[in-house]
Amino acid sequence: MRFMLRHRHDASECAVAYAAWRGFESPLRRESTLATCAVPAGPDGPEHLLMWTVEAPSVEEALAQLPPWLAARAEARPVAEVLIP
């Protein structure tokens, strides 16, 4: 199954969110993804959002691709491709 992982953290926790990957094995490491971390704070406030689309057999295994600190602050939703008319 394919899942969309969405992790949120406060701007003040940004360094923690990246340091949490050190020593953690995951297929997501050293790959690019979309995030608001590098975007100046806008109308949505200081909250940062990181997103990944991953393949995994279950929600638990999808979240296990994130370090525990990120997984505890993330949601995994099953997704599938659609064709926009």
Asked if 14 touches Zn ion (CB under 5 A), the answer is yes
Which of 3, 7, 28, 48 binds Zn ion (CB under 5 A)? It is 48
Check: CB of residue 5 under 8 Å from CB of residue 63. yes
Asked if 37 touches Zn ion (CB under 5 A), the answer is yes
Nearer to Zn ion, 35 or 64 (CB): 35
Count the site residues for Zn ion by CB under 5 A: 3
Contacts of 76 (CB under 8 A, 6+ apart): 3, 4, 5, 59, 62, 63
The helix/strand/coil state of 79 is coil
Instruction: Tell me which residues touch Zn ion (CB under 5 A).
Output: 14, 37, 48
